[in-house]
Amino acid sequence: MPHDVTMPQLGMAQDAGRLTQWLKAPGDAVTKGDALFEVETDKATMEVEAQASGFLTHVTAAEGEDVPVGQVIARISDSADAAGDSPAPNDSPAQDNLPEGREVTMPQLGMAQDSGVLVGWLVELGAEVGADDLLFEVETDKATMEVPAGIAGYLAATLAQAGDAVPVGQAVAVIAANRPDNTVARGMAAAAPPPKAGKEPEPAKAAPPAASKPAAPHAPAPQPAGDRILASPKLRRVALEKGLDLARLVQAGHPQPYHMRDLEVLEGLPAEAPASQTGMAVQAIRLDAECAQDGFVPFALWAAEAQGMTDADALLAGLAGASLGGAVTVAIERFGQQRAFAVPDHRHLSAVTECDAAPDLRLRDLRATHLRTVTIGAEDVPVLTLMQAGAGLALVLECSPDQLAPDGAIALLSEFAGRMQDPLRHLL
């Protein structure tokens, strides 16, 4: 089945990317995971992987061209000589009667993500917002995150409603420079293009009358695989403050994902009998830290010029691995792409080498985004999330108690925060 190749969003404020180089030629065979092309933004140049296997066809973007996020630039087809029209341009919401202003688009939070579900708006329509103010919550198959506005002004239009699945790069809001006289609120249904003219489908044949029976209840929403609970960051925080366990909603059969409107349901559940020590639910560990200044960037420049250590990811993995202690494997993850590094049981950063081993610790680098808060929950290994916070850094550690004891988690985050603020202390 053909697969459209689109321009990815590599940063929260990015609305276009420059296609610097195609790494495959039209007609070439590609395998899912192959580097397909290079894209340049104002912060980085990255290789973008193919998300399907087949043959590269219908290339519509040239090297050096600036392409809007979400626009189709090629297709991966079943054969090299696949016939057919070029990929159609992306349908976008009707723009009539919209207030003037800058659009906020659905961000791409992972390289394989092609859409996100809008969980809810965090700002009232018509209200003033700052560039760093949280505007809405978005849910993907991996996480629920709060997205900042990225633009200062007034929320003049919302183009999606809670529960709408919005394609990456499509506008979800308009922020005006001045307070709008009229605001617009509509959902994705209003933005859907009319059906194309063509052969009318045949009407379905009437089913024979059936015996009357009670209406079947609505099927519950599909639940995530494993033990992960889908819930908005705000609900997670409030439930933790109130000492409430979201797992009780799962046990009660309440459909996921959970939002603040489900708090009343959770509070209304009957009290549980005291659980035995062995059967007691255990809360995941989450710790936050801040660095007043980012010392890693100048340290990486010094290491490259004075010591010849040019791989900044290896340096970052070395500082994180030394904070965990012992000989470990640290994975650096950035926009869905991951590199693993073997960190030896000593402080020699020059001995950190890239490897294919499963990680003991994952470091998710979100410094190139506008994200300021992240709540994903415990994963298969402890996860350190690194974000920009003004001139400094914000760090979040999430893990389960069986991965790290509370004192070990505190030591890891404290050590890593100290090394990121003053990396030279690692050399002492």
Residues of the chain with CATH 2.40.50.100: 3-77, 102-190
Is it the case that residue 279 has pLDDT exceeding 50?
no
| pLDDT at residue 16, as a whole number | 78
Per-residue pLDDT band at 368 (split at 50, 70, 90) = confident
Q: What is the pLDDT of residues 157-213, one digit of tens each?
A: 999 888 888 887 788 889 999 998 888 888 876 555 544 444 444 444 444 444 433
> Average per-residue pLDDT in the chain?
79
CATH 3.30.559.10 segments of the chain: 286-427
Confidence bin at 277 (pLDDT 50/70/90)? very low
Q: What is the residue whose two structure tokens read 């029976």?
A: 213
74-126 pLDDT per residue, tens: 888 888 776 444 444 444 444 557 888 888 888 776 655 667 888 889 999 99
**CATH number of the 286-427 domain:** 3.30.559.10
The per-residue pLDDT for range 37-71, each reduced to its tens digit, is: 888 877 667 888 888 889 999 998 888 888 887 77
Tell the residue number behind the tokens 């255990």, with chain if given: 282
Q: What is the CATH number assigned to the segment(s) 3-77?
A: 2.40.50.100
Average of per-residue pLDDT across 279-305: 84
* pLDDT digit string, tens, across residues 249-258: 888 888 877 7
3-state secondary structure the chain: CCEEEECCCCCCCCCEEEEEEECCCCCCEECCCCEEEEEECCCCEEEEECCCCEEEECCCCCCCEEEECCCEEEEEECCCCCCCCCCCCCCCCCCCCCCCCEEEECCCCCCCCCEEEEEEECCCCCCEECCCCEEEEEECCCCEEEEECCCCEEEEEECCCCCCEEECCCEEEEEECCCCCCCEECCHHHHCCCCCCCCCCCCCCCCCCCCCCCCCCCCCCCCCCCCCCCECHHHHHHHHHHCCCCHHHHHCCCCCCECHHHHHHHHHCCCCCCCCCCCCCCCCEEEEEEECCCCHHHHHHHHHHHHCCCCHHHHHHHHHHHHHCCCEEEEEEECCEEEEEEECCCCCHHHCEEECCCCCEEEEECCCCCCCCECCCCCCCCEEEEEEECCEEEEEEEECCCCCCHHHHHHHHHHHHHHHHCHHHHHC
Report the pLDDT value the prediction gives residue 163, as an integer from 0 to 100. Answer: 82
> Is the CATH code 1.10.1500.10 the one for domain 102-190?
no
The 10s digit of each residue's pLDDT in 370-408 is 888 888 888 888 999 999 988 899 999 999 888 888 888
